[in-house]
Each structure stands twice: as C-alpha cells, then as structure tokens.
C-alpha cells in the first residue's frame, strides 16, 4: 500500500492511499480510520487488514487532480546516518574522511520536514546549499533494544528523502545538526510505501538529478550499515516510536564533491528517486 496525504485546491489535508491511479481517503475505506498519519501507522496492525478488505471500487479521485503533501503531518524523531555509502566516503577523502567503524548519527530537527513537491529554501545566511538523495525508513512498531534480526518487523514502510545540507554550517563545528536542520531541508514522499510491498530495501536503485542532469546513481545494496543495523544501533540509545524517520545515508555525487563544488541556487530543480518508491521534486526558492 502507498500511504499519502493530499489536498484538492485549497481544501484540508486528507489521509489516504494511492489505489489504481486514484487518491482514496482512508475514511472512504474505513469510516473510523484515524485522520492523522502517525496515528494510522501506530494502529496499522488492526487497521491494515480492514483497509485491505474494503471495496475501493469507484472511490477517490484521479491522482493527477490532487496535490500530494508531506505523507506525515509531523515527525517525531528524524535521525540520519552519515558516511554510509563507500563511494560517498571516497569522494570525501580530501576532508580526511574514511569508512567509519561506528555508525555516525546526527539529528535533523522536525521543523525541517517538508513535502515531496515543496520548495527548498536557499538560506539568507549561506550559498552552500547541497542535495543528498536518501532512502528513508518509517518506524511502525516502536521499541527499545531491537535486534538486527527482528528489525524488519519494526518498519512500517519506506519513502524517498532529500537530506538537504548547508555545507558551511554543517562543517563550521564538529556537530552537524544546524547544517542539516534548516527549515524545508527534509522533504520526503511522495508516499510511504508499506514494507510488505517493498520487500528487501537493500536492492533499490537510488538517483538524484539537478535540472535534469544525473548527479547521484547507486543502489541501496552499497550501504555500509544496512537498515537493520541502523535500527539496532539507534534503539540501544532511544525508544523508537511509530512515525519516527531514519534517513539511511546518501551515495556519491553530491554538489560539494565536484571541483569546484556545484551548490544549488534559486530556480534549480532537484529530483530524487528510488526504484519502487517514486520520486520527489523540489525547486530551490529564496528563504521566505
């Protein structure tokens, strides 16, 4: 299933699914379904079978007649791992970076969350704006001290993400949080595809384009630490909860690695896509 939030014209956001090219509100399928995505994810063990059994014939509206919004109305935790593709580490060797022995984690603040087609702001304080296509895992079943062998049971689904980075703010201190957490710098979408539909998340082609030019092109099989290892490590430190997001790392080809660097500017269009999950496309706009 593909969980979305959508709106028509200036109408309110609606939680729904993409079914055979139509946006269908969950409430059309299950009248007492939660109206918020995180609540629906938390209740999916009971809600999912009811949705699967519902008759969707004739329901919903054409997907091209709606605007797809961020599939989560708000994030709980947004955790991101750095230096997690070998080719990305190789292009960063000039900065003294090597394949890490331990997982390198940082937080993106929830206020950076944005929709799949929202604008990405070029900050007033920097012109070093960069892109990072990433596979994002969405936690479904919470927990603490989750072993790698059971981690897959804790994932609700996956979506495309862009870990937008302000490089001078990222590197001016040892902590990356500020440079990764500017407003609008965490677009995800276009839908959250449930884990059962995705299957193995470690065999997906992953790409980014800037103004139609291919910049990143890899496969999630090249993750240094896979999704299960990431969940195991994070849950040693914190309780994972339904709707938490895990940005799983970016492959080589980021703007910083070009010589000279090729940072984003106003008007640039960044498209991030992952096989089976779809694509998000965001235009760089001036900071509001």
Q: For 91-106, what is each residue's pLDDT tens digit?
A: 766 656 677 899 999 9
Average pLDDT, the chain: 95
Q: 83: alpha, beta or left, given left = phi > 0 and alpha = psi -120 to 50?
A: left
Look up residue 80 and give its two tokens. Answer: 């991101």
The CA-atom distances, in angstroms, between 135 and each of 64, 96, 186, 191 are 24, 25, 12, 12
Residue whose token pair is 């269009």: 269
pLDDT in tens, 181-240: 999 999 999 999 999 999 999 999 999 999 999 999 999 999 999 999 999 999 999 999
Q: 49 φ, ψ to 5°?
A: -60, -35
What secondary structure does DSSP assign to 13-24, as a single string? Answer: PEEEEEETTEEE
Is 0.85 surpassed by the pTM of this model?
yes
Domain coordinates in residue numbering, the chain: 2-69, 78-286
- How far is C-alpha 257 from the chain's CA centre? 22
Question: Positive or negative, the Cα torsion across 123, 126, 130, 136?
Answer: negative
Amino acid 11: pLDDT: 81
Amino acid 87: pLDDT: 76
Residues 57-70 have a mean pLDDT of 96
Rg (CA), the chain: 18
Residues 254-269 have a mean pLDDT of 97
Residues 231-256 have a mean pLDDT of 97
Q: Is 223 helix (H, G, I), strand (E, B) or coil?
A: strand
Residues 136-156 have a mean pLDDT of 98
Q: Residue 119, Cβ neighbours under 10 Å: how many?
A: 17
The fraction of the chain above a pLDDT of 70, given in percent, is 98
Tally the residues of the chain. Answer: 288
Residues 78-286, CATH architecture: Alpha-Beta Complex (3.90)
């Amino acid at each position: 299933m593909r969980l979305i939030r959508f709106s028509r014209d200036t109408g309110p956001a609606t939680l729904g699914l993409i079914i055979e090219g139509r946006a269908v509100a969950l409430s059309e399928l299950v009248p007492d379904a939660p109206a918020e995505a995180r609540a629906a994810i938390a209740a999916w063990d009971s809600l999912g079978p009811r949705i699967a059994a519902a008759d969707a014939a004739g329901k919903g509206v054409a997907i091209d007649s709606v605007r797809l919004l961020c599939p989560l109305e708000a994030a709980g935790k947004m955790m991101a791992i750095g230096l997690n593709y070998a080719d990305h580490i190789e292009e960063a060797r000039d900065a003294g970076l090597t394949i890490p022995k331990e997982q390198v984690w940082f937080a993106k603040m929830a206020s950076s969350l944005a929709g799949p087609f929202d604008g990405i702001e070029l900050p007033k304080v920097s012109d070093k704006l960069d892109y990072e296509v990433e596979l994002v895992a969405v936690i479904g079943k919470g927990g603490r001290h989750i072993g790698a062998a059971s981690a897959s049971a804790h994932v609700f689904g996956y979506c495309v993400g862009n870990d937008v980075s302000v490089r001078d703010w990222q590197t001016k201190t040892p902590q990356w949080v500020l440079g990764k957490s500017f407003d609008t710098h965490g677009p995800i979408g276009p839908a959250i595809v449930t884990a059962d539909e995705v299957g193995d998340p470690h065999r997906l082609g992953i790409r980014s384009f800037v103004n139609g030019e291919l910049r990143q092109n890899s496969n999630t099989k090249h993750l240094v630490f896979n999704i299960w290892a990431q969940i195991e490590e994070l849950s040693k430190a914190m309780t994972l909860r339904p709707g938490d997001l895990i940005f799983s790392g970016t492959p080589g080809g980021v703007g910083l690695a070009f010589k000279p660097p090729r940072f984003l500017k106003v008007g640039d269009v960044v498209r991030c896509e992952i096989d089976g999950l779809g694509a998000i496309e965001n235009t760089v706009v001036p900071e509001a």
